[in-house]
């Protein structure tokens, strides 16, 4: 019998897959807004160098090197460069999410999407990113896993989110985005938005293009598609997911889903079971 003073119990974890890329591009990029998009898995975005902002749904964050953005499945998000800058960053995706990621997702649910570590912690985070990249290049998979665990634990020590104020979008756009996020399933078309806010279609389109680099129609469609994927993962039929997400035509929904994600809603639903 072993007389131990401490017992370590590792929580049960599902099999998981982590994918990532590390952009070390040295050239500066002109100011730009990357198109909003969604994933059906959690994403971690870590800024390594440069000046960047990040939009998640209708929240906007200013980032410093070492800062992290956590997005949950099906949250609309995109990066914004407000000036000419280097944009070195790391993006990681987890499928499925697992126990070590839960503290970060809980932070995201309660405090917002941004994690702003201390200066020293930020340096350790960026150092771990470099080590993770080297371990990948050297095919040291156990070391990759160990470094990933260390990285996630370091991120867990981060501080709360700070909502960006200086480069926030126009107040009208913020109101419209909040409206879409809360009522997308009941908004039949972009025309209903122009009528509700007493603006022309051209004005609405310009506001979206200048601030989000997308059209209001595509933004609304993406919100509906994101919700339909949640319903499909819960076991809803294709017709149920279509109608509950706010699409009026099943065939049009299937065609849009396939064009956007490269698979049909029925195939997507089958792959989740």
**Higher-scoring residue by pLDDT: 17, 132:** 132
Dihedral sign of CA atoms 98, 100, 101, 106 in order: positive
Work out the pLDDT band at 160, boundaries 50, 70, 90.
Answer: low
C-beta separation of 57 from 109 below 8 A = no
Q: How many domains does the chain have?
A: 2
What is the structure's pLDDT at 164?
47
The Cα 172–Cα 13 span in angstroms is 44
Among the candidates 156, 187, 218, a domain finishes at 156
Render pLDDT for 187-212 as a digit per residue (tens, 0 to 9).
988 999 999 999 999 999 998 888 87
HSE (side-chain half, CA atoms, 13 Å) at 62:
9
Q: 249 with 198, same domain?
A: yes
- Kindly indicate the confidence band of residue 221, based on its pLDDT and cuts at 50, 70 and 90: very high
Give the pLDDT of residue 107.
83
- The range of the structural domain enclosing residue 241 comes to 171-271
What is the pTM assigned to this prediction?
A: 0.78
Task: Give the pLDDT band (50/70/90) at residue 240.
Answer: very high
- Average pLDDT of the residues in 10-36: 84
Is 11 contained in some domain? no
Whether residues 52 and 180 share a domain: the answer is no
Of 199, 219, 191, 160, residue with least CA distance to 36:
219
The pLDDT of residue 57 is above 90: no
Q: What is the CATH number of the domain that holds 198?
A: 1.10.10.60
The answer to whether residues 121 and 233 belong to one domain is: no
**62, containing H or E segment:** strand 59-63
CA atoms of 216 and 180, how far apart (whole Å) = 10
Q: What does pLDDT average to over the chain?
A: 87
């Amino acid at each position: 019998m072993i007389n131990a003073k401490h017992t370590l119990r590792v929580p049960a974890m599902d099999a998981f897959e982590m994918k990532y890329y590390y952009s070390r591009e040295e050239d500066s990029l002109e100011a730009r807004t990357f198109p909003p998009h969604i994933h059906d898995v959690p994403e971690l975005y870590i800024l390594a160098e440069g000046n960047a902002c990040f939009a998640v749904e209708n929240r906007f964050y200013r980032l410093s090197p070492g800062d992290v953005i956590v997005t949950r499945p099906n949250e609309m998000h995109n990066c914004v460069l407000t000036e000419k800058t280097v944009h070195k960053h790391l993006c990681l995706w987890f499928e499925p999410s697992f126990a070590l990621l839960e503290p970060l997702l809980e932070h995201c649910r309660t405090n917002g999407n941004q994690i702003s570590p201390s200066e020293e912690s930020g340096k350790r985070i960026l150092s771990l990113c470099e080590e993770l990249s080297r371990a990948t290049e050297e095919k040291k998979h156990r070391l990759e896993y160990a470094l990933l665990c260390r990285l996630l634990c370091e991120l867990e020590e981060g501080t709360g989110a700070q909502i960006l104020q200086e480069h926030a979008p126009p107040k009208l756009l913020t109101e419209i985005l909040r409206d879409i996020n809360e009522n997308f399933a009941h908004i039949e078309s972009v025309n209903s938005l122009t009528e509700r806010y007493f603006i022309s279609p051209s004005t609405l389109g310009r506001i979206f293009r200048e601030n989000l680099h997308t059209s209001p129609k595509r933004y609304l469609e993406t919100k509906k598609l994101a919700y339909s994927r949640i319903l499909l993962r819960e076991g809803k039929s294709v017709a149920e997911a279509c109608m509950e997400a706010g699409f009026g035509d099943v065939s049009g929904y299937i065609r849009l889903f396939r064009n956007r994600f490269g698979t049909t809603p029925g195939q997507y639903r089958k792959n989740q079971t």
